Structures are given as C-alpha cells and as structure tokens.
Amino acid sequence: MSDFSFVPDAPRSRDIRLLQALAADLEDAGYTVDGVAAFLGEDASAALQRDQLVPALLVCRAEAEAAAPRRVAVPVQLWLLGETMERSHLDEALPRTGTDGLLELGLIERGPVFGTFQAAVDLRPYGTDDGGTGSEKNPAGDLWVASDLGSHQRPGVLRRDHVLGIGQASLSLAQLTVRTPVGRALDLGTGCGIQTFHLLRHTDHVTATDISARALGFARFNLMLNAPQLDIDPEQPQERFTLRLGSLLEPVAGEEFDLVVSNPPFVITPRTGTDAEAERFTYRDGGLAGDGIVAALAAGLEGVLRPGGTAQMLGNWEIPAGREEDWSERLEQWLPDGTDAWVIQRETLTPPEYAEMWLRDAAQGRERTEYAEAYAGYLADFASRNVGSVGFGSMWLRRRPTPAARPLRRFEEITHPVEQPLGPHLEAAVRRFDWVSSRTHLADEHLRVADDVTEERHQRPGAEHPGVILLRQGAGLRRTNLMSTELTGFVSACDGELSVGQIVSALAALLDRPDSGFGENLISEVRNLVLDGFLIPDRW
C-alpha cells in the first residue's frame, strides 16, 4: 500500500530533513498568519481574503524598493500571488531549503523565462486556534497548508483533480466539530488534510481517506511539514495517522471509529450518461446523481461508528418543488433506525443560483458557449427530478448508545448568524437532550436561566401589560423564543432554589389554574426551553 509520499503532480514528503529545513525557513522569514498580516496591512490582507491580489502585489513591489527588503515578501509573492521569482531571491529568503530544495519538494516549477521559477502549488500559513506547540518566532504554533493554485493565481479552468485548499466550508466544519478527546477518528474525504490537523489535537489516531491519490499526497506533505505542531513522530507517522485511497466508506469497511468528520464531494452535478472519470471535479463531485453522496453517508455512517460514536458532516440536499416547508422529509428517510440526527439547514438556493455558484467556483465561465451548455445541463438535471431548491447545512449523527435509548431526531432551519466555534454549543445541546431523556418527568429537578439569556418586552404606549415577551440567547445558536405569560413567570422563578414542580404549583395557584393540563403543558414547554439551552440544570 502506498504511503503517498511521492505522487505525480503533488508535493513530495519523503525527505524529512528537507521538510524540517523548509519549516524553519518559513518560520524565520515570518511567513506565519500574524507575520503575513503585519507585512501586508489590514486593507491588503482583507483584499487577499476576497481573492483580490492587486493591493498585496503593490505592497510587495514597494518592499522590493526598500534598502533591506523583508524576507516574508518572497513567499507571499511566490505562493499567495503567483508571481514569478528569480533563483537569487528564493535562495536568500529560504536559505536552508533554497531553490533546488523547493524543486525537490515539488513546491515550485521553472518559469516561462530562463532562470525564473513559479509556484507549483499554493502554500500558505494557517492557524487552527485550538492549541499547539509554537516557538519564539511562531508562538501560536501556526501551520502551513499546501493545495492547488486557484484560478485567481493561475488563470483558467481548474484541473479536474484539483485539490482544494482552506475554504469557508472546511473552516465551517472545523468550527462545528465537537472536540471531545477520543481514541480513533475518521476524516472522510480529507482533501489537503485540514480536518485531520484539527482532529490530531484531540484524537489518538486519525484515518484519512480520499478518492484522489493527489489529495492524499498533499495531505501527507502537510502533515509531515507540520509534524512537531501536530505531535507526529516523522520516523513513525503511522502511530498518529493513516492515509487510505478509496470512495466513501469502502476504505474502512469493517472498522469502527469514535468520531467521523466529513466535508464530502456533495455538489450536485448533472449526469449525462456518458460521464468519464476525467470529466468531473473530484474535489466536489462524488460521482453519484443528485444528492446521492449525502444520502449514502447518512445511511451508512452508523456502520463505522462505535456505540455512542458521532459523525459531523456538511452537505446539501434536494427539496422537491412546492415542498420547501417539508424539506426534511427526504432526509429522515435516509436515516437508519439506530441513528440519532440533528440537521441544521443554513441556506437554500434555487436551481439557477446553484448552477451559477458552482460554475463560478471552477472558473467555467470564460468560454460563453461551454458556459451556456453547462448552465443548461444543471437546469435540465434538476427539472428531471422536480427539484425546486437545494438546501445547504450540517448533519450531526450518532450511533445510538443503546437500542432502547430515546431517539434524537431534530431538523431545523437557522439562517441567522450564530456564534463560532459552534462545536461546544452542539455538545452541550446533546448533553441536555440526554439529560432530559434520562428523566421520566422534570418535577423534582432544579433549573436556572443560562447566563447568556436576556428577556425582551414590547408593549404599545400606555398599555398596562406587554404584548410580546421574548427570550433571546446571546451565544450558541442565538435562538429567540416567544413567551406566554405563564412560561415567563416560570423562567423568572428559575434560580435553582425551587424545583420545577414547586414553581408550577405556585403558578397554578397564582393564575387560578388548578387543572392538571396546565401543569403538563407548562412542563412540556419547560422541557423545550431546556433542550434549546434557555434553561439548564442547576447542577450541570
């Protein structure tokens, strides 16, 4: 089985000492997250985040005129801006590695003019914000991530086996993932390895899979380049990670994991019936019609999870025309009986909006006729399945700890901004569900209002009582709950002193509601406030 240290058209990671030299050079040059930000300044850094290169290019050109140019300008020009560089500049900025070392690692290639060199990949600093060992020059323990160059750095349609770098989707998944320490984790569809970086912070061993050998070559390079920060022994990397080539769950059939994370190639791409493997973008198209990739994973992940094991993934799903209010119906049908699920839909797009986004993503809009044909193909494909819109979001799945446990099945649409990272709040929400589920009734429990919750009242001028009372969360999913008079009274009394039953009884007497239905309905609403995090157990 290949260790993916030498894959054609991917960075090479066999020479450990050369990788260590490169890391030292990058660190000494100040090619870190903070170092690059300080060099470029706020405006140019912000523009670069939008793939606008000109402001950063102007900063670099001004730096070249300085009496003693800063070394960081060279890797910025080379890898972030796609500029052609001379050997002398590379050798001076990265003296341990040098031009020859960069060629050996597959990070540069010869330029169009004799004696010049250009980037073969995108190599940029990355901060995980979740711990790690650093040094005096790099106290945060910044990492470096290699991926393929984007169309803004190297004009033209992306190559079909393009290896995607740090994007909004990968960052979102990293922020969503619950970081409880576990033994074994699976990074399904690892790409350049971003999720594995994060998993290694709280996992003993990570198995990373991908359908692309080039992607695994990039992932291994990134892991080995950042070995010290990720607690990887370069001589025995298999103790911390394993790379496997294959589609979906095939490479790990028969194995079980504590945690699975995945940003799968879920993009819905028209199937013509004559698709060749070389015609699709492997980083985003898993090769199945419609939302088949997400459906297959939702149905199959239970088979690679230990009892109580969890999975977190991104995805999109088709919503039949006219059924937007019932968008979760198809998703519920995908799930096995023993799988808990919490699905959050963050956005929906119409078929034309969806086509435009992904054609733009791969820079396929440069040739008018081909663009029109591809656009029409998307619309015809969606129409063939009566798709009215496409939902985007995240799925949290769990193999139920015991078959008799109360199932968690929650599907909700949250389109407003939420707090990041969201992982700790998802973990707390699941703990509350398990806490509520383990109790046949809440009457003997003591609750208190969560620290981030505030109350908001609205009333017409001169009115004696408010017409609308809202509870708002300042953290997590930042929910808003419309309150009834009795529920408002209950929450006002939740300071941990009185039990749920005592508060309900007091309210029943105060409001002259002796019927049993009053208490049952109120406790049901209280249960929902606990599940949503407005109220929490006093001893939590």
Is the residue at 486 inside a domain?
yes
Judge whether 389 lies within some domain.
no
CA-closest candidate to residue 23, choices 304, 314, 222: 222
CB 238 within 8 A of CB 164: no
| Inside any domain, residue 432 | no
The residue-averaged pLDDT of 321-329 equals: 95
| 452 in any annotated domain | yes
Average pLDDT score over the chain: 93
pLDDT digit string, tens, across residues 215-231: 999 999 999 999 999 99
User: What's the whole-number mean pLDDT along residues 364-389?
Assistant: 88
Choose between 36 and 374: higher pLDDT: 36
**Helices within 335-391 (DSSP H only):** 351-361, 368-384
pLDDT value of residue 279: 62
Kindly report the CATH number assigned to the domain that includes residue 484.
3.90.930
Band of pLDDT at residue 287, cut at 50, 70 and 90: confident
Q: What is the percent of the chain with per-residue pLDDT over 70, rounded to a whole number?
A: 95
pLDDT recorded at residue 457: 95
Q: What number is the average pLDDT over the span 429-456?
A: 95
Cα 121 to Cα 19: distance, rounded to the nearest angstrom: 15
Question: Is 446 domain-assigned?
Answer: yes
Q: Would you say residue 389 has pLDDT above 60?
A: yes
For residue 193, is it within any domain? no
Entry pTM: 0.93
Any domain includes 495? yes
User: What does 385-408 look like in DSSP terms, one character per residue?
Assistant: TTEEEEEEEEEEEEE-SSTTSPP-
Domain assignment present for 525: yes
| pLDDT over 80 at 132, yes or no | no
Q: Which long-range contacts (CB under 8 A, 24 or more apart) does 252-256 make?
A: 252/186, 252/207, 252/209, 252/304, 253/304, 255/207, 255/304, 256/184, 256/304, 256/305, 256/306, 256/309
User: What does the pLDDT look like over 408-441, one tens digit per residue?
Assistant: 999 999 999 999 999 999 999 999 999 999 998 8
Rg of the Cα atoms in the chain: 27
Q: Which residues form the domain of 492?
A: 438-537
Given a cut of 80, whether residue 181 has pLDDT beyond it is yes
Report the number of distinct structural domains present in the chain.
Answer: 1
